[in-house]
């Protein structure tokens, strides 16, 4: 940001590099430079905190069916396999097969536009009962590997196979062998019709990749549909992995920090789960396209985004994310907030905070919930909303533990306020 801006009349053709070097050399030590450095240090503190939480001990698999609705329809009408096809209606498509994707036809596109892109496109109406039934079949398989698997939608799930891998060491060959559905056995030319013995079964090994292959094999045998998988130490990488070798493929991220960082560096930010169109555009305006750019621009991100957003971005840049699966439909947060006449006395602010924590603790107990992240929400007299969060290592489970963290957050809020902190809402 110190660099020369040469879009002023009469500045064409300058040696920008040389000029920037001189600016840089002479800015070191200036207040401007120190401020830049301070922000980078702030960012580095956050990065260190995240790095401390990196945990490479679990093995997570993300499984995602290929062109799910479309594949179910193709299975039941094989003549569609070679044609461009989509599922949905003229107003909206739910997905398309890989033939149609070549034309730019995809999910969340109106069918009438898709028809313009590909006039021979076949549009098949939705058949939810069929998709639900397949989903049930796959979930029966998932449960054998992780009873607490987390189903994200009909066609995708996260499994923590860490415990399975340990038990698996003791599995004999038979327990790792699965038989072909008769019609799916690959017939060799020398086989007679009654002799498919060479191809009737497949045996899988002990590694995480073997387990993913086994899962995908079993899904295919049971549903006649293919799935892709990502295997990684956390959910973010596992999710990325299931998409990388689609369709009918898988990707393994070893539990190795250096290799993960190397991969993440050049990976497009947009492809990370949770980075939507708006975030992509915001980051793109800052010329941030790859996950590695998030690290290089950490000082600017701290200046421009909230702490929660920065944490999210820095996690991405380090390839860190949760490896704790939430069971389907599980509640993720609980909150309480109050609006009141403006107060600024510290004693009053902390009293209000105490009251809120008490009320939250009662609700948590009722719902039998514990917390990992506490967020303090404030609205000042100028109606500016602000949130500040802290993630802790041991769970928050009662008034005392919640209030201890909340107090720290409020202290920071008071310290960082430009003027005397005066609030009209706290949550
Ligand atoms: N779906 C939908 N509307 C969307 C996206 C998806 O109704 N905007 C439905 C149809 C998909 C299913 O959810 O078949 C699964 O979504 P995916 O994103 O996993 O897409 P596909 O399984 O179709 O394709 P891929 O092979 O890319 O996973
Ligand atoms: Mg899918």
Mean pLDDT score, 97-126: 95
Determine the residue of 107, 108, 126, 246 to mutate for testing ligand 1's pocket, defined as the one with the most ligand atoms within 8 A of the Cβ atom.
107
CA of 95 to the centre of ligand 1 (A): 5
What are the b/e assignments for 269-284, b being 16+ CB within 10 Å?
A: beebeebeeebbeebe
Q: Which long-range contacts (C-beta less than 8 Å, at least 24 apart) are formed by 360-363?
A: 360/334, 360/335, 360/336, 360/402, 361/398, 361/399, 361/402, 363/334, 363/336
Query: What atom in ligand 1 is closest to the CA of residue 66?
Result: 26
Q: Is 67 in the pocket of ligand 1 (CB under 6 A)?
A: yes
Give the closest residue (by CA) to ligand 1 atom 9.
Answer: 94
Residue 284 φ/ψ, nearest 5 degrees: -65, -35
Residue 274's contacts (CB-CB under 8 Å, 6 or more residues apart) are 312
Looking at the domain that runs over 60-64+130-181+198-252, which CATH code has it been given? 3.30.70.270
> In Å, how far from its chain's centre is CA 153?
14
d(CA 357, CA 105): 50
Query: What atom in ligand 1 is closest to the CA of residue 242?
Result: 28
The structural architecture, per CATH, of the domain 336-426 is: 2-Layer Sandwich (3.30)
Answer left, alpha or beta for residue 67, where phi above 0 means left and psi between -120 and 50 means alpha. Answer: left
CATH topology of domain 28-55+265-318: DNA polymerase; domain 1 (1.10.150)
List pLDDT tens digits, range 39-52. Answer: 888 899 999 999 99
Q: What is the rounded average pLDDT for all residues in the chain?
A: 91
Is residue 146 within 8 Å of 157, Cβ to Cβ? Answer: no
d(CA 152, CA 330): 11
d(CA 204, CA 210): 6
d(CA 84, CA 103): 8
d(CA 320, CA 318): 5
Q: Is 107 in the pocket of ligand 1 (CB under 6 A)?
A: yes
Looking at the domain that runs over 76-126, which CATH code has it been given? 3.40.1170.60
List pLDDT tens digits, range 205-242. Answer: 999 999 999 999 999 999 999 999 999 999 999 999 99
For the chain, report the end-to-end CA distance as a whole number of angstroms. Answer: 36
Q: Is 65 in the pocket of ligand 1 (CB under 6 A)?
A: yes
Determine the residue of 94, 96, 125, 138 to mutate for testing ligand 1's pocket, defined as the one with the most ligand atoms within 8 A of the Cβ atom.
94
Determine the residue of 73, 89, 92, 95 to mutate for testing ligand 1's pocket, defined as the one with the most ligand atoms within 8 A of the Cβ atom.
95
Please tell me the predicted confidence (pLDDT) of residue 195: 54
> In Å, how far from its chain's centre is CA 322?
9
- Percent of residues, the chain, with pLDDT higher than 70: 94
Angle at 100 between CA 97 and CA 101, to 5 degrees: 85
Q: Lowest-pLDDT range, 262-266, 315-319, 344-348, 363-367?
A: 363-367
79 is catalytic: no
| Residue of higher predicted confidence among 132 and 21 | 132
CA of 101 to the centre of ligand 1 (A): 12
Residue ranges of domains in the chain: 28-55+265-318, 60-64+130-181+198-252, 76-126, 336-426
CA of 68 to the centre of ligand 1 (A): 6
Instruction: Report residue 25's pLDDT band, with 50, 70 and 90 as the boundaries.
Output: confident
Please tell me the predicted confidence (pLDDT) of residue 2: 67
Please tell me the predicted confidence (pLDDT) of residue 187: 57
pLDDT > 90? residue 264: yes
d(CA 410, CA 36): 26
Catalytic residue among 74, 156, 214, 413: 156
* Locus of tokens 């890989």: 98
Q: Is 95 in the pocket of ligand 1 (CB under 6 A)?
A: yes
Q: Is 242 in the pocket of ligand 1 (CB under 6 A)?
A: no
Q: Is 108 in the pocket of ligand 1 (CB under 6 A)?
A: yes
Mean pLDDT score, 6-14: 83
CA of 105 to the centre of ligand 1 (A): 13
Q: Is 185 in the pocket of ligand 1 (CB under 6 A)?
A: no
Beta bridge partners of 231: 61, 252
Give the closest residue (by CA) to ligand 1 atom 7.
Answer: 94
Mean pLDDT score, 145-154: 92
Is residue 4 within 8 Å of 20, Cβ to Cβ? Answer: yes
Q: Is 252 in the pocket of ligand 1 (CB under 6 A)?
A: no
DSSP state of 113: H
Q: What sections of 169-297 are H helices per DSSP?
A: 208-223, 235-244, 257-265, 277-285, 291-296
CA of 214 to the centre of ligand 1 (A): 23
Query: What atom in ligand 1 is closest to the CA of residue 96?
Result: 23
Is residue 214 within 8 Å of 201, Cβ to Cβ? Answer: no
């Amino acid at each position: 940001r110190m660099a020369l801006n040469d879009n002023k009349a009469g500045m064409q053709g300058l040696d920008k590099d040389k000029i920037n070097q001189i600016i840089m050399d002479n800015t070191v030590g200036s207040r401007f430079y120190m401020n830049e450095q301070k922000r980078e240090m702030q960012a580095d503190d956050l990065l260190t905190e995240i790095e401390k939480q990196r945990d490479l001990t679990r093995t997570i698999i993300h499984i995602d069916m290929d062109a799910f609705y479309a594949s179910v329809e193709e299975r039941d009408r094989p003549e569609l396999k070679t044609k461009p096809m989509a599922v949905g209606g003229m107003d909206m498509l739910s997905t398309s097969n890989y033939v149609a994707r070549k034309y730019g036809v995809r999910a969340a596109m109106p069918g009438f536009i898709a028809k313009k892109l590909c006039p021979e496109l076949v549009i098949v109406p939705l058949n939810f009962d069929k998709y639900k039934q397949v989903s049930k079949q796959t979930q029966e398989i998932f449960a054998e590997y992780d009873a607490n698997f987390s189903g994200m939608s009909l066609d995708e799930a996260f499994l923590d196979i860490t415990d399975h891998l340990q038990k698996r060491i003791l599995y004999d060959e038979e327990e790792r062998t699965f038989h072909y559905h008769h019609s799916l056995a690959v017939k060799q030319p020398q086989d007679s019709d009654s002799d498919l013995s060479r191809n009737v079964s497949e045996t899988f090994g002990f590694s995480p990749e073997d387990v993913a292959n086994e899962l995908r094999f079993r899904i295919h045998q049971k549903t006649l549909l293919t799935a892709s998988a990502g295997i990684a130490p956390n959910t973010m990488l596992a999710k990325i992995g299931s998409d990388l070798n689609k369709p009918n493929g898988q990707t393994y991220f070893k539990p190795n920090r250096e290799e993960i960082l190397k991969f993440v560096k050049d990976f497009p930010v947009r492809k990370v789960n949770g980075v939507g169109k708006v975030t992509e555009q915001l980051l793109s305006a800052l010329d941030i396209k790859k996950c590695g750019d998030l690290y290089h621009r950490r000082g600017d991100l701290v200046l421009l985004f909230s702490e929660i957003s920065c944490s999210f971005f820095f996690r991405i840049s380090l390839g860190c994310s949760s490896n704790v699966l939430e069971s389907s439909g599980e509640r993720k947060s609980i909150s309480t907030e109050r609006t009141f006449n403006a107060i600024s006395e510290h004693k009053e602010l902390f009293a209000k905070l105490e009251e809120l924590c008490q009320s939250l603790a009662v609700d948590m107990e009722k719902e039998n919930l514990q917390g990992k992240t506490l967020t303090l929400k404030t609205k000042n007299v100028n109606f500016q909303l602000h949130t500040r969060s802290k993630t802790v290592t041991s769970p928050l489970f009662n008034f005392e533990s919640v209030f201890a963290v909340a107090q720290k957050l409020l202290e920071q809020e008071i310290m960082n306020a430009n003027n005397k902190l005066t609030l009209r809402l706290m949550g």
